[in-house]
Structures are given as structure tokens and as C-alpha cells.
């Protein structure tokens, strides 16, 4: 499998092939090594993105700082070294209700064990991130929705964050799009104008990623068509790339089960929005659950992480699957997940488990941990 550099700027199937030791442990012993932890510390957000995966969440919820500490230390004990701070809401707005700890405290905590720390935010004011915390970040990805809420390029303040670590992300339904959430019209002409302004004002910015809105186009072939329409934007600069999620990658899930949650767990508030840290199989399932958290996709509470990962390994050895959906049949994921961004990663993991070193040796690639989350 050939993996292009843009693939390392987001979640793509080929990245798991760069983690040979984790693949070998999985193939031989059924061990699930968390590589990257996704953490949504807060549901608070100042935007109402039309494409938000958790649009119908309770925005008043924030994971307790103590639970965040337990989660990060537990996953580090299991081998995790990459952390992606994401949403839910805007991570920059995180504030624990019990301790008043904020995002800088989370970054400091992660710095004890995680070598790659990144943050995804729609906030254009990065001065909320302290000097030492900014230095600890490997990358920052700015969601560009603010441009369509009345903000301009000159409103962006990187604070202490080095712009060479910053990238921009445009989620684009193609054509003229207006709604109560967007104050401007989004189309190829307006995107071109904004991207040119970014490149002029921030000549050292790391990249600009453009991706079709999967919440509106849940079909691999349709996504490929949207990618083709957007592809002309990549001509603006080598740092602009259009991420298409082709028909082969965005498809029906593996009916025989799922392993991705063991390698890239997602931590957020519980479906009851009671601020209790909860571990989910992934962050993508909400497209099929009313854009909110769902108990069926919960792996465990954060206090149960180490025990649960041990139980999942035993289950793999015993029956071949790591976990089953709550209330669903043992392994039939197609009943709940109509399409899956991790289907190809699961296929790679199934092949590694079935063929062992023969498959891993012939498909492995060099890991690139300098860009986005390492899987």
C-alpha cells in the first residue's frame, strides 16, 4: 500500500502500517496498543457548524479534570504516545467545573507522557494557550468555519504558537451554501479568496486541508465526485491539498467486527452528559446516532481502561473480536454503522491478525509522527 504525505495529515488507513511493533503484538497475542488518544474535554463551543458530528450534544458538559488525568495516565501505561485534543466542543474553552482547571493544565498533564500532542479548534485566538504549552504542541489545526461567521484572516492570533505547526481545515459542501449558521456564502470562489489571503498573511503555515462534508454526503462515490470538484483548489499552493475520502476508504464497515477503538480510543463526556470521562470506540459513529453520544458505542469508563483493554485482548484470543455493540448482535456492525471511515484500517488489522508477520513485513511503511495524530 502506498501512502502519500497528505495521508499523514489526517486519519487515514495507511498510518497503522507505520506502527510495526503494535501490529506484531496484535497479530501474535491479540494485544491492542492505543497509539493515539482522542480527547474531547468539553462540549462548549461558540459555533454551530452544520457539519458538526455532535451537533445535538449538551454544550454545558465538560469532562472532570480528575477523569482526564486517569484516562491519559492509563492509556500511557498501555503504550499511547499521541494525544489529539478535539471536540465535542472547542477544547480551548475547557474548564473543569470542580477544579477550574483549563486547557493549559490538560496540555501540561499530557506532556508528562505524550510525545505528540495536537489540538483541533475553531477558535482563532490561540493566545489562550500559554507559552510553554504552545511549545509542547506538535500541531494545531484550525477549523475554518469562523470565516463564514463574520471573521477575517486578520482576526487570527496565533499567540505563542509557531505558525509552521498550524494548519487550516475547510469542510465544504460544494456550491452556494447558506444557512442560519453561516453568515457568508460558501463556494469555490469564496474558498479561493480566503485560501489566498491565508497564504499571503501566513506564508509559513503548514498546510490548508479541504475536505467534502461527509455529514451531507454519506456515500463513497458521491464523495469522490465532490473531491473532483474541489481539486482545483490544490493548484493554489503545494501546501493546499484536497482530502477526498475515496469510495474504497469510506465504505460499509467490516461486518465481522471492529478493532479500531483499541488503537485510537475516543474519550469524552458520557451520553448522560454528567461530566464523567467515558471511552468510545471512535469519534465517527455519531453520524448514525442523531449527532450525539450513544451508550451502544461505549467501551468503558475511564476508571476501567486498563482492565477493559486486558479483557479485550482475552476476547480476541477467545472469539476473534475485541468488543460488540451494546444491544446488538455479537459482531454485525453493519446494523449500526452504515458507513465507516475506519473500514480500511479494520481490514488491515484483520489481515495482520490472520496472516501475521508475512502480511506485516510486506505492507509496513515508515511511521511519520511529526504531523497529525499518529494513527
pLDDT digits (tens, 9 = 90+) for 222-242: 666 666 777 888 899 999 988
Look at residue 2 and tell me if it is in a domain.
no
CA dist 184 and 298 (Å) reads 37
**Which residues does 203 contact at the CB level (< 8 Å), separation at least 6?**
none
Task: Give the tens place of pLDDT for each residue, 104-137.
Answer: 999 999 999 999 999 999 999 999 999 999 999 9
CA dist 114 and 72 (Å) reads 9
Look at residue 374 and tell me if it is in a domain.
no
Q: Report if pTM > 0.75.
A: yes
Look at residue 240 and tell me if it is in a domain.
yes
Average pLDDT, the chain: 83
Task: Give the tens place of pLDDT for each residue, 268-307.
Answer: 999 999 999 999 998 887 766 778 888 888 999 999 999 9
C-beta of residue 170 within 8 angstroms of C-beta of residue 191: yes
Look at residue 348 and tell me if it is in a domain.
no
The pLDDT value recorded for residue 47 is 84
Number of domains in the chain: 1
The pLDDT value recorded for residue 12 is 60
CA dist 359 and 189 (Å) reads 45
Segments forming the whole domain that contains residue 296: 33-308
CATH of the domain at 149: 3.20.20
C-beta of residue 42 within 8 angstroms of C-beta of residue 65: no
CA dist 264 and 83 (Å) reads 10
CA dist 147 and 150 (Å) reads 6
Look at residue 5 and tell me if it is in a domain.
no
Amino acid at each position: 500500500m502506498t501512502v502519500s504525505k497528505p495521508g499523514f495529515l489526517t486519519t487515514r488507513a495507511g498510518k497503522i502500517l507505520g506502527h510495526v511493533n503494535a501490529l506484531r503484538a496484535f497479530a501474535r497475542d491479540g494485544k491492542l496498543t492505543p497509539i493515539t488518544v482522542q480527547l474531547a474535554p468539553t462540549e462548549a463551543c461558540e459555533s454551530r457548524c452544520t457539519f458538526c458530528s455532535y451537533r445535538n450534544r449538551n454544550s454545558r458538559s465538560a469532562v472532570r479534570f480528575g477523569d482526564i488525568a486517569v484516562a491519559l495516565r492509563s492509556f500511557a501505561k498501555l503504550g499511547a504516545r499521541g494525544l489529539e485534543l478535539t471536540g465535542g466542543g472547542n477544547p480551548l474553552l475547557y474548564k473543569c467545573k470542580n477544579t477550574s482547571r483549563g486547557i493549559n493544565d490538560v496540555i501540561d498533564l499530557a506532556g508528562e507522557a505524550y510525545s505528540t500532542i495536537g489540538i483541533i479548534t475553531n477558535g482563532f485566538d490561540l493566545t489562550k494557550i500559554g507559552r510553554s504549552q504552545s511549545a509542547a504542541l506538535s500541531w494545531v489545526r484550525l477549523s475554518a468555519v469562523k470565516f463564514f461567521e463574520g471573521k477575517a484572516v486578520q482576526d487570527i492570533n496565533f499567540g505563542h504558537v509557531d505558525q509552521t505547526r498550524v494548519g487550516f481545515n475547510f469542510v465544504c459542501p460544494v456550491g452556494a451554501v447558506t444557512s442560519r449558521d453561516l453568515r457568508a456564502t460558501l463556494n469555490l470562489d469564496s474558498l479561493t479568496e480566503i485560501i489566498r489571503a491565508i497564504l499571503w498573511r501566513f506564508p509559513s503555515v503548514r498546510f490548508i486541508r479541504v475536505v467534502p462534508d461527509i455529514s451531507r454526503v454519506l456515500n463513497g462515490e458521491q464523495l469522490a465526485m465532490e473531491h473532483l470538484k474541489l481539486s482545483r483548489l490544490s493548484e493554489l499552493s503545494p501546501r493546499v491539498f484536497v482530502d477526498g475520502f475515496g469510495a474504497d476508504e469510506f465504505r460499509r464497515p467490516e461486518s465481522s467486527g471492529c478493532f479500531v477503538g483499541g488503537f485510537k480510543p475516543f474519550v469524552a463526556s458520557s451520553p448522560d452528559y454528567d461530566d464523567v470521562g467515558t471511552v468510545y470506540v471512535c469519534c465517527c459513529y455519531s453520524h448514525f446516532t442523531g449527532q450525539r453520544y450513544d451508550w451502544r458505542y461505549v467501551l468503558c469508563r475511564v476508571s476501567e481502561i486498563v482492565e477493559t483493554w486486558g479483557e479485550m485482548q482475552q476476547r480476541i484470543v477467545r472469539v476473534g473480536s475485541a468488543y460488540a455493540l451494546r444491544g446488538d448482535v455479537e459482531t454485525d456492525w453493519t446494523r449500526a454503522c452504515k458507513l465507516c471511515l475506519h473500514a480500511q484500517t479494520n481490514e488491515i488489522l484483520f489481515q495482520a491478525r490472520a496472516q501475521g508477520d508475512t502480511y506485516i513485513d510486506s505492507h509496513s511503511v515508515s511511521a511519520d509522527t511529526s504531523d497529525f495524530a499518529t494513527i
